[in-house]
A and B are shown apart, each in its own frame.
Chain A
Amino acid sequence: MTFSLTWLPQVLKDKGLKVALADGWESRGRGDVGNIVGVICHHTATPGRSANMPTLNTLIQGRADLSGPLAQLGLGRDGTYYVVAAGRCNHAGTGAWKGVTTGNSSFIGIEAENTGLADDSPWPAVQMNAYRRGVAAILAHIGQAADFCAGHKEYALPPGRKNDPSFDMKAFRSAVAAILDGTAPAPVLIPAVEPAAQSGSAGRPTLRRPAMGEQVKQAQLKLGVVADGNFGPKTEAAVRAFQRDHGLVPDGIVGPQTWATLDGN
């Protein structure tokens, strides 16, 4: 059975966001959702900052005392949206926002990877940018304004039951409203090809899964992984680790900045 929120990936991709699908997402849910009126923002509170979306499998499967899915969307540290479920999820619990008290049925839950502690603040700019733009994309699709985006800490009852997400929700809603109004600056796209002047020869292509070929081999050699010419999950993980070590956005994509850093390594 396929549930109702099958529009989620395309709505996000149409706004230039990076989207990854968890196997079986279309038929995953605690039954189907009801009439969706908004979005509830969460953070995962998972300790550690070295992985992009360590909470993904738990969002899908749940945990020993509670079956999943625990949110429709996970948001990685690099701004990737992981689509977990098209049906209802156990993310909201008891609460109210704008008179709506059926949080699990009526709101889409986004669990963003963040410890929720001072060690993970400020949030990565690429992740916050994707958070705002993703929420705006969903609200635009369902025909709602920015005030139908609530933080879990605002929705949950009794007051103080939850503290997520750790950022200021009023400022977040203002930024979402600016995107909806068209007054926010457009995102900067990664070029498909490296500028020619940067390498002194023809620009190298931006590489990501599932690229193949000689350029992938060159990147793999520089990364110190098996140079088989296939840009698979191991190569992507190696790219992320390299980017983290060199202060780059750890998105697993070899674009101009990562090429230049690999050259100098």
Chain B
Amino acid sequence: MAYDDHGVAALAALEGVLQETAASTPGSEDEDIDGCDVQVEVPTSDEDLPAAEGGVA
């Protein structure tokens, strides 16, 4: 199938929409991604932690 310039642009836009949808749709292949066992490369120091509100301790 051949496309003119408008057709190619429209197809690219559609692919973008489909990719965005895939990244936010339950049941997509992203469900298999497991980032646990976090493997810290640069630890966050206590001085760089955001301030906390509330709490008992």
Contact = CB atoms under 8 A, between A and B. Distances in A.
Interface string B22-47: 01111100111111111111111111
Contacts of B50: 20-23, 82
Q: From DSSP, what is the main secondary structure of chain A's interface residues?
A: loop
B55 A55 contact: no
A70 B35 contact: yes
Nearest to B34: A93
Interface stretch (A44-52, A141-149, A195-203): A44-52
Interface in B1-57: 20, 23-27, 30-57
A222 B51 CA distance: 22
Q: From DSSP, what is the main secondary structure of chain B's interface residues?
A: loop
Contact of B34 (A32, A156, A209): A156
Interface stretch (A167-175, A212-220, A231-239): A231-239
Interface in A48-95: 48, 51-59, 62-64, 66, 68, 70-71, 76, 78-80, 82, 88-94
Interface in A27-57: 30-32, 34-35, 42, 44-46, 48, 51-57
Given A16-B56, A90-B30, A92-B34, A54 B40 contact: yes
B56 A58 contact: no
A97 to B, nearest CB: 13
A104 to B, nearest CB: 5
B54 A18 contact: yes
Interface of A: 12-13, 16-23, 30-32, 34-35, 42, 44-46, 48, 51-59, 62-64, 66, 68, 70-71, 76, 78-80, 82, 88-94, 101-106, 109, 111, 126, 152, 156, 162, 164, 187-190, 208-210, 233-234, 236-237, 240-241, 249, 251-253
Interface of B: 20, 23-27, 30-57
